[in-house]
Amino acid sequence: MPYSDIEAKSIQSLCTIVDCEHKTAPYVDKSEFLVVRTSNVRNGQLIMDDMKYTTQAGYDEWTQRAVPIHGDVLFTREAPAGESCLVPRELKVCMGQRMVMLRPKTEKVDPVFLSLVLATEKCKSDISRLSIGSTVSRINISDIKKLRVPSPPLPEQKKIAQTLSTWDKAITTTEQLLANSQQQKKALMQQLLTGKKRLLDKNGVRFSGEWKITTLSQMGKVVSGGTPDTNTKEYWDGDIHWLTPTDVTALKSRFVRATTRTISEAGVQNSSATILPAGSLMVCTRATIGALSISSGPICTNQGFKNIIPTKAFDVNFIYYLLAYNSIALLRKASGSTFLELSKKDFEKMEFPCPLLEEQQKIAAVLSTADEEITALQQKLDALKQEKKALMQQLLTGKRRVLV
């Protein structure tokens, strides 16, 4: 059965509460002594981005009340209130301002269980209710002491912590595999799209010969997009997909199969929009410069795009990877005071070294395989996180009790 109020206990009864020094530690560019501020604690994790560091003397002074060790829980009192994380192993940390440390009484509560419970929606709601401040939420130590959290028998807590830690290990392993695959793809692009590494042709012979400098206009017909009159109802909600930069940035693959909005034949005829065939490359050249997608069917774009309909001598997937690798070059060609834009003239004149079609296709196939591996790992990671979230909802509320 779900945990009852009888099983809940106050933080004060479960932990020793240690307040921070109410002043800013002396910062240095880099050291082994980390100053954990409220911005470094989010969603049960210690965030290393923008971490501050202090001196040996600063660390000694800022830990004189207690030296944080693995198993202690860091808890934010403000901006926002109620974020928490475990102190990692083998790191020397001290608390910045508006932080407290909870040192679990291990004969009563498991540290991992406590850190997980504090991150639940129920607990965060209770923290919000106890917090004060209309602009920035803030919770007093006296209210932290009164905060009540589920407290099943200690063996059950340990079992729950062990179960969820297994999921954490699977998530961490998958995150590392994903990062490795992304790094490998980056290295492949650097080698293959510059001709530093040559693949084998259909006869098993390594490609040779110089790559030819080619402009984008030589790779295919360049077509700009357009937007029908937004006040004319009959131009909209038709059968023709109409792509915007927002659609592209939301994509999780290189192919577009649907768009947020559609236009009609009348909308195409009465605007500068052009219907592009399947296999066209659509390149954002305004604001979100360099975002790319390939059409999987007939489609139009708004004026934020320059679109390439490749000639028979060019593989659209190769051009996709070529421009993805050279996205900085696209950005450098852009200009504008209000927002950056790459003109059609400048876009068409951009040039890159390119191999012949067969080598293009081989390169695109290798990079496509790398993309497929990355997509599979990302899907696995998303699934693991979702499954863990569902399991936490069951275990940390007592809706599902574990056998000890």
Measured CA to CA, the distance from residue 376 to residue 252 in angstroms comes to 11
Tell me: do 221 and 126 sit in the same domain. no
Average pLDDT in the chain: 93
Looking at the predicted structure, is the pLDDT value of residue 216 above 90? yes
Cα 200 to Cα 345, 358, 372, distances in angstroms: 36, 10, 21
Q: Comparing 65-79, 119-133, 167-181, which segment has the lowest mean pLDDT?
A: 119-133
Q: Name which of 140, 129, 100, 148 is nearest 4 in CA terms.
A: 148
Neighbours of 165 (CB within 10 A): 12
Report which of residues 337 and 67 the model is more confident about: 67
207 is a domain residue = no
Give yes or no for residue 325 having a pLDDT over 80: yes
What is residue 353's three-state secondary structure?
strand
Q: Which pLDDT score is estimated for 5?
A: 59
Task: Mark whether 338 and 217 lie in a shared domain.
Answer: yes
How does 322-343 read in b/e, with b if 16+ C-beta sit within 10 Å?
bbbbbeeebeebbeeeeeebbe
Question: How long a stretch of residues is the chain?
Answer: 404
Give the residues across from 395 on adjacent strands: none
Determine, yes or no, domain membership for 205: no
Task: Indicate if 335 and 262 belong to the same structural domain.
Answer: yes
pLDDT of residue 253: 85
pLDDT reported for residue 121: 85
Please answer whether residues 263 and 238 qualify as being in contact, where contact means their C-beta atoms are separated by less than 8 angstroms: yes
My answer on whether 129 and 170 are in the same domain is: no
Q: Note the pLDDT of residue 322.
A: 98
The answer to whether residues 25 and 94 touch, using CB atoms and an 8 Å cutoff, is: yes
What integer pLDDT is reported at residue 132 of this predicted model? 75
Q: What is the mean pLDDT of residues 1-11?
A: 72
Give the predicted TM-score (pTM) of the model.
0.83
How does residue 135 score in pLDDT terms, banded at 50, 70 and 90?
low
- In the chain, count H helices and then E strands: 13, 22
Q: What is the pLDDT of residue 86?
A: 95
> Which of 357, 355, 368, 358 has its CA nearest to residue 194?
355
Clarify whether residues 246 and 300 are in a common domain.
yes
The count of structural domains within the chain is 3
Output the pLDDT for position 296.
Answer: 95
In terms of domains, do 265 and 248 share one?
yes
Q: Domain residues for 311?
A: 212-354
- What confidence score (pLDDT) does residue 399 get? 82
Q: In what order do the strands lie in the sheet with 305-310?
A: 220-224, 305-310, 281-284, 292-295, 255-256
pLDDT digits (tens, 9 = 90+) for 8-28: 899 999 999 999 999 999 999
Going by pLDDT thresholds of 50, 70 and 90, the confidence category of residue 2 is low
Which amino acid type is present at position 59?
Answer: Y
Percent of the chain with pLDDT over 70: 98
* Integer Cα distance of 258 and 278 in angstroms: 13
Average pLDDT over residues 235-254: 92
Same domain membership, residue 25 and residue 142: yes
Would 261 be classed as within a structural domain? yes
Q: 10 Å Cβ neighbour count for 5? A: 7
Residue 203 lies in a domain: no
Q: Residue 285 is part of a domain; what is its CATH number?
A: 3.90.220.20
Classify burial at 209, counting beta carbons within 10 Å of its beta carbon; exposed 0-12, middle 13-18, buried 19 or more: exposed
d(CA 353, CA 351): 7
**Do 380 and 290 lie in a common domain?**
no
Asked if residue 306 lies in contact with residue 224, where contact means CB atoms within 8 angstroms, the answer is yes
Residues 9 and 147 in one domain: yes
CATH number of the domain at 174, please.
Answer: 1.10.287.1120
Do 137 and 174 fall into the same domain? no
Q: Which residues face 333 on adjacent strands?
A: none
State whether 286 and 323 are in the same domain.
yes
Domain membership of residue 366 (yes or no) is yes
Q: Please provide the distance, in angstroms rounded to a whole number, between the alpha carbons at the two ends of the chain.
A: 15
Q: Is residue 116 part of a domain?
A: yes
Assigned domain for 311 exists: yes
User: Mean pLDDT, to the nearest integer, of 78-94?
Assistant: 91
Two structure tokens written together for 72? 């202690």
Single-letter amino acid code for the residue at 344? K
Residues 300 and 348 placed together within one structural domain of the fold: yes
Could you give the residue ranges of the DSSP H alpha helices within 244-315?
A: 245-249, 265-269
Paired with 338 in beta bridges are none
